[in-house]
Amino acid sequence: MILRTPPPKKQRAEPILHESPSPQVASEGRLVIYEDNPLAAPPPESPHQPSDHLLCTYQCRQMVKADFIDALSNAEKQIRDYQSKLEILNENLSKAEVERKKFRDQFLYAEQELAAAKGREQMLHDQLLKEVNDSQERFKKQLETNNELKGKLQNELNLRKKAESSAASAEEKAADIEGKLTQFSQSIEREKKQLQNELSQLKGESKLSISRISADLERTEFRANCAEKESELLKEQLEDLKKQLNECLNQKSEVEKKMSSFTFQEVTSSESSILIKHLQEELRNYESEVREARKLKSSHEDIELLKAKLLEEKGRRERAESELSKLQEQQICLSNLEKELSLWKLIMKDIPGVSCPEDIPVKFATLQKEVIASTMKIGETNARLKQIEVGLDAAQLAKQNAEAEAALDKEKAEILKSEVKRIELMLSMVTEERNKLSNAINELKRHKNEEAGDEVASGTVVQELESSLAKKESCIKELERSLHEQKEINDRQHNEIKMLHDRLNNEARRIKSLDRETDRLRSEISLLESKLGHGDYSASNTKVLRMVNTLAVDNEAKQTIEALQTELQKTKEKLQALEELKSQSGDTGKLVDSYISEKITKLKEQIATLEKREERYKTVFADRISVFRRACCELFGYKNILGKNIELFS
Amino acid sequence: MASRTVAKDIITLRGSAAIVSEFFGYAANSVMFFYSILYNRGVYPEESFAKVKKYGLPMLLTQDEGVKSFITNLTAQLSEWLEAGKLQRVVMVIMSKATNEVLERWNFSIETDSHVFEKGVSREKSDREIMREIQAIMRQIASSITYLPCLDEPCVFDVLAYTDTDVAVPFTWIESDPKLIANPQMVKLHSFDTKIHKVDTLVSYKNDEWDEQ
């Protein structure tokens, strides 16, 4: 301000020189226009102010004016600059406000998105919690069902064991009873057959014996007749022989006489008589020997007849003894059978529902049906057990899967929790940044009023806001991407787990079926091996034969054979003696009389013919007896093989 | 063994049948001697056995004429059935003399090569190997005393033959029941194979009361 009251002059030059550069100085410098105002004498402000002001000239004034004008122009310029700057700043401020608004909108949008993401996270968290809870509940339910199934399985196993044990015991009993029944029935049938066979044999044998006896009677009668005829013939022959002998004797006496008459000179009478005596004695001896031979022959024939009778009687005796022994055995068997019958009757009394033997097959059939039904039940229970086991295995697998899924879900929940925490942290960071931004905006507003030096700070704050928003957006995008990826991964893993689960179930079922087959095959193999070792056989392909213990029988046969052998030796010795006698009689007869020898030869021929007849009879008998034996063998199935005994008849 | 040649160890059906039937005879003698050692009941006393060398081992054969003839007749018939391919199994049964209860079964199962029987071909197997296999079985029969239960009563033995159904029953044989043991314990012994006949040996015995307890 230009003071109207000029200062003292002296003071004018100094303050003007000192205060000219700044308008404020100028305003304080107080440029005073020189006015000759003698009236307005300035108060002496300072003693040192000279009174030079009166010396200021027009130049000074012009200078001052020029300076003032320069200063004014400068000030105006400055003002204009400041105004332009202000305008620019205003524009910038408006721009900044617009951008602030924009960022604020973006911030609000980000906040909304954050809230939405938070809400979604919360929902996901809730969902996860629900799923975890559901899986836990399912897991609990499955555990409960597993426990129930285990209890049921235990019960079923116990029932099965009981049923198996009862079935095994029933089977064993039934098998025992079956075996005993079959054995007894077989033994009874065999004994019946044997008894019937023996009865028929006895009948046949009795018939045969009767027929044989009658045949023997006839034979003996025939033989007797033949013997009588033969004896008559022999008697006639004997009489003829006697007559011949007498004739021979007569002839001999005549010959002796003749010889005595003719050969008297050559041989002394005593010698001839001695010779004759000797010859007579020899004749007598020969006659006696012939008689003895005849007796021996008759006795031999008698002996043979007796032997045959003896053999027949022995055979009959043996047969009777064997039949007696058989009778005794059969009596013993009968008593055993009666005992067994009584035992069986007692057993029948014990068996419920059986009153008579005819009920036994019915009862047996019912027992078999019960056994079959129980085996079927056992099979069904086994099948059910297998199913339950399969279900249990499936439940265990499901349980394992559920546990794995629960573990996975827990892990996911933990991961999500960590993500939630991370997001919360980010949210807190974002809220902090928002607060910072709001503070910055407030500061901007404050500084906007002041319009100085705040633009840099607002720009930095705006940049910070932008960067934080960008970071948040990127975080949100990353979160969303990670969520999406995790969802995809989870879905893929679920699908893989399901596929693996299905494959596991199929493989487990296959393994179970294979195990069952191996068990069945092993049981069959063990059954077959036990049957093989046990001695079982199929009656259609195999029959069981037993060698008869002939050790006892052989002893008796040996004894009879030895007895027969001794008799044979004795008869052989006798025959040898006879033959020697015959040969002796033949040797000495040559010396005595050829006629007697002829007679003797005739007798021998007769004996030979008789022997031939005997042999013929024997061959015929052998043929007939072989036919008879063959017929007996075909009829009854038994045949006797005579080895050494045949030699007795030769 | 007339039908075997020394150079190549060729075995024919007749030779194999002779080996197998001879084995049965010696096995039966071993079983009888085993029981005679245990019981010495006087039926077949220990003194009635004579030592012979067979299969590389000292074998004991009974000298009782009755038993000898029984075994010779038995082995002759078995040989005949083996040559005809009709024999399926031979079983030696040990029974209680008092109760006729079956106490042990010595089971000899026979598998015949039907190709040899039908076509009449021969096989090759060394005698030494067959003898070694039979030796092992004889040793096992002798050592069976260690695990078979003790029998404290007199026993008798019998021989059963499992044949085809079309076999004609000889005069000294009759049909019989298989004389089985209820719930037996079984011990499988070694087997021997002549490439024509394979013989599996198994002994089954009645469970001892002490073992059951």
Q: What is the pLDDT of residue A88?
A: 92
Residue of chain A nearest B77, judged by CA positions: A547
* B174: nearest CB among A530, A541, A548: A548
* A544: nearest CB among B70, B73, B162: B162
* A 627-646 residues with CB < 8 A to B: 639, 641
- State the CB neighbour count (10 A cutoff) for residue A472: 23
User: Testing the interface with A: which of B74, B164, B172 to mutate, by most A Cβ within 10 A?
Assistant: B172
pLDDT band at A34 (very low <50, low <70, confident <90, very high): very low
Q: What is the pLDDT of residue B2?
A: 37
Residue A47 above 60 pLDDT?
Answer: no
Angle at Cα B28 formed by Cα B25 and Cα B30, nearest 5°? Answer: 110
Please state, for a pLDDT cut of 70, what percent of chain A lies above it: 70
Do A541 and B165 count as a contact with CB atoms less than 8 A apart?
yes
Q: What is the pLDDT of residue A385?
A: 73
**Angle, to 10 degrees, between the axis of helix A359-450 and the axis of helix A58-262?**
170
Query: Which positions in chain A touch B107 (Cβ < 8 Å)?
Result: 533, 535
Inter-CA distances, B169 with A241, B30, B76, Å? 61, 27, 14
Mean pLDDT within A139-155? 86
Residue A554 above 70 pLDDT?
Answer: no
Mean pLDDT within B187-196? 86
* B160: nearest CB among A539, A546, A548: A546
B149 interfaces chain A, CB cutoff of 8 Å? no
Do A639 and B67 count as a contact with CB atoms less than 8 A apart?
no
Question: How many whole angstroms separate alpha carbon A216 and alpha carbon A210?
Answer: 9
| DSSP β-bridge partners for residue B92 | B106, B159
Q: What is the pLDDT of residue A256?
A: 72
C-beta separation of B156 from B95 below 8 A: yes
* B173: nearest CB among A532, A542, A547: A547
Mean pLDDT within A18-29? 41
- State the CB neighbour count (10 A cutoff) for residue A223: 15
Q: What are phi and psi of A389, to 5 degrees?
A: -60, -45
Do A536 and B66 count as a contact with CB atoms less than 8 A apart?
no
Higher-pLDDT residue of A526, A145: A145
B208 interfaces chain A, CB cutoff of 8 Å? no
pLDDT band at A559 (very low <50, low <70, confident <90, very high): low
Q: Give the distance from residue B118's alpha carbon to the nearest chain A alpha carbon, in angstroms.
A: 19
Mean pLDDT within B46-65? 78
Query: Which positions in chain B touch A546 (Cβ < 8 Å)?
Result: 158-161, 173-176
Q: What is the pLDDT of residue A11?
A: 45
What lies within 8 Å, CB to CB, of B17 at 6+ separation is B79, B82, B83, B197
Cα–Cα nearest to B88, from A543, A525, A528:
A543
Q: Give the distance from residue B102's alpha carbon to the nearest chain A alpha carbon, in angstroms.
A: 12
Residue B197 above 60 pLDDT?
Answer: yes
* A548: nearest CB among B163, B172, B177: B172
Mean pLDDT within A625-630? 82
Do A543 and B162 count as a contact with CB atoms less than 8 A apart?
yes
B157 interfaces chain A, CB cutoff of 8 Å? no
Residue type at position B74: L
Over residues A342-399, the pLDDT tens digits come to 887 777 777 777 677 677 777 777 777 777 777 777 777 777 777 777 777 776 777 6
Count residue pairs from A and B with Cβ separation < 8 A.
Answer: 99
Mean pLDDT within B45-49? 72
B20 interfaces chain A, CB cutoff of 8 Å? no
Residue B41 above 50 pLDDT?
Answer: no
Over residues A222-275, the pLDDT tens digits come to 776 776 676 677 677 677 767 777 777 787 787 777 766 665 555 555 666 777
Do A544 and B174 count as a contact with CB atoms less than 8 A apart?
no
Question: How many whole angstroms separate alpha carbon A405 and alpha carbon A264?
Answer: 161
Question: How many whole angstroms separate alpha carbon B16 and alpha carbon B22?
Answer: 10
Dihedral over alpha carbons A487, A489, A494, A495 (to 10 degrees): 110
Please state, for a pLDDT cut of 90, what percent of chain A lies above it: 2
Residue A615 above 80 pLDDT?
Answer: yes
Q: What is the pLDDT of residue B192?
A: 84
Question: How many whole angstroms separate alpha carbon B67 and alpha carbon B43?
Answer: 11
Residue A619 above 80 pLDDT?
Answer: yes
Do B165 and A540 count as a contact with CB atoms less than 8 A apart?
yes
Residue of chain A nearest B167, judged by CA positions: A543
Higher-pLDDT residue of A74, A471: A74
Angle at Cα A94 formed by Cα A90 and Cα A100, nearest 5°? Answer: 140
Question: How many whole angstroms separate alpha carbon A96 and alpha carbon A125?
Answer: 40
* B180: nearest CB among A532, A534, A554: A534
User: Testing the interface with A: which of B163, B199, B205 to mutate, by most A Cβ within 10 A?
Assistant: B163
A39-48, A288-297, B16-25 — most confident range: B16-25
Q: What is the pLDDT of residue A586?
A: 54
SS3 B192: strand
Q: What is the pLDDT of residue A96?
A: 87
Dihedral angle sign, alpha carbons of residues B112, B114, B116, B120 = positive
Q: What are phi and psi of A440, to 5 degrees?
A: -65, -40
The DSSP bridge pattern shows strands B102-112 and B155-164 to be unpaired
Over residues A93-104, the pLDDT tens digits come to 999 899 888 888
Do B107 and A535 count as a contact with CB atoms less than 8 A apart?
yes
| DSSP β-bridge partners for residue B94 | B104, B157
pLDDT band at B30 (very low <50, low <70, confident <90, very high): low
Do B70 and A534 count as a contact with CB atoms less than 8 A apart?
no
Over residues B93-152, the pLDDT tens digits come to 888 888 888 888 888 888 888 887 777 777 788 888 888 888 888 888 878 777 777 777
Query: Which positions in chain A touch B112 (Cβ < 8 Å)?
Result: none
How high is the mean pLDDT of chain A?
A: 73
Mean pLDDT within A582-594? 55
Cα–Cα nearest to A282, from A562, A649, A584:
A584
Total-model pTM: 0.34
Question: How many whole angstroms separate alpha carbon A125 and alpha carbon A120?
Answer: 8
C-beta separation of B86 from B164 below 8 A: yes
Query: Which positions in chain B touch A187 (Cβ < 8 Å)?
Result: 177
* A541: nearest CB among B164, B173, B186: B164
Question: How many whole angstroms separate alpha carbon A624 and alpha carbon A357?
Answer: 50
- Look-up of token digits 């106490």: B103
Query: What is the DSSP annotation of A8-57?
Result: PHHHHHHHHHHHSSSHHHHHHH--------SSSPPP-S-TT--GGGGG--
**Is 0.90 exceeded by the ipTM?**
no
Do A542 and B181 count as a contact with CB atoms less than 8 A apart?
no
Q: What is the pLDDT of residue B161?
A: 92
- State the CB neighbour count (10 A cutoff) for residue B9: 15
What lies within 8 Å, CB to CB, of A544 at 6+ separation is A537, B160, B161, B162, B175, B176, B177, B178
Do B202 and A543 count as a contact with CB atoms less than 8 A apart?
no
Over residues A318-334, the pLDDT tens digits come to 777 777 777 777 778 78
Inter-CA distances, B159 with A85, B71, B124, B144, Å? 139, 10, 31, 19
A550 interfaces chain B, CB cutoff of 8 Å? yes
Do B176 and A545 count as a contact with CB atoms less than 8 A apart?
yes
Q: What is the pLDDT of residue A94?
A: 92
C-beta separation of B93 from B35 below 8 A: no
Over residues A423-448, the pLDDT tens digits come to 667 767 767 776 777 787 777 678 66
Over residues A500-511, the pLDDT tens digits come to 778 778 877 887
C-beta separation of A16 from A65 below 8 A: no
A189 interfaces chain B, CB cutoff of 8 Å? no
Q: What is the pLDDT of residue A605?
A: 83
* A546: nearest CB among B107, B165, B173: B173
Over residues A519-542, the pLDDT tens digits come to 887 777 766 666 666 676 777 788
Do A554 and B171 count as a contact with CB atoms less than 8 A apart?
no
B66 interfaces chain A, CB cutoff of 8 Å? yes
Residue of chain B nearest A183, judged by CA positions: B177
Dihedral angle sign, alpha carbons of residues A189, A191, A192, A194 = positive
Element (DSSP H or E) covering residue A85? helix A58-262
Do B160 and A544 count as a contact with CB atoms less than 8 A apart?
yes
Please state, for a pLDDT cut of 90, what percent of chain B lies above it: 2
The DSSP bridge pattern shows strands B123-124 and B10-11 to be antiparallel
What lies within 8 Å, CB to CB, of B127 at 6+ separation is B4, B9
Residue of chain A nearest B177, judged by CA positions: A544
Over residues B146-185, the pLDDT tens digits come to 777 777 777 788 889 999 988 888 878 888 888 888 888 8
Token digits of residue A192? 């019946």
Q: What is the pLDDT of residue A5?
A: 44
